[in-house]
Amino acid sequence: MSTFSEKNEYIIKKIERVSPNVVAQASQYQAAILADVAGRRGAMHGRIQGLAPSMKLAGPAFTVEVRPGDNLMIHAALALAKPGDVLVIDGKGDLSAALMGTIMMTQAKALGLAGIIVDGAVRDAEEIREMEYPVFAAGTNPNGPTKLVPGRINWPVSVGGVSVNPGDLIVADFDGVVVVERERAESLIPLAEKKHNDETARIEGIKSGKQLRPAWLESTLIKSGVLKEGEVL
Please report the domains of the chain, with CATH numbers, ordered by start residue: 20-189 (3.50.30.40)
Q: What is the DSSP string of the chain?
A: ---TTT--SSB----PPPPHHHHHHHTTS-HHHHHHHTTS--BPPTT-EESSTT--EEEEEEEEE--TTB-HHHHHHHHHPPTT-EEEEEEEEEEEEEEE-HHHHHHHHHTT--EEEEEEEE--HHHHHHHT--EEEEEE-SPPPB-----EESS-EEETTEEE-TT-EEEEETTEEEEE-HHHHHHHHHHHHHHHHHHHHHHHHHHHTS-SS-TTHHHHHHHTTSS-TT---
Q: Round to whole Å and give the CA distance between 195 and 193.
A: 5
Query: So what's the pLDDT on residue 115?
Result: 98
Query: So what's the pLDDT on residue 8?
Result: 74
Query: So what's the pLDDT on residue 1?
Result: 38
Query: So what's the pLDDT on residue 9?
Result: 85
Angle 146-46-62 from CA coordinates, rounded to 5°: 50
Pairing of strands 49-50, 135-140: antiparallel
Query: So what's the pLDDT on residue 2?
Result: 37
Q: Round to whole Å and give the CA distance between 7 and 1.
A: 10
Q: Do the beta carbons of residue 151 and residue 66 sit within 8 Å?
A: yes
Query: So what's the pLDDT on residue 4?
Result: 42
Query: So what's the pLDDT on residue 6?
Result: 42
For the chain, which residues score pLDDT lower than 70? 1-7
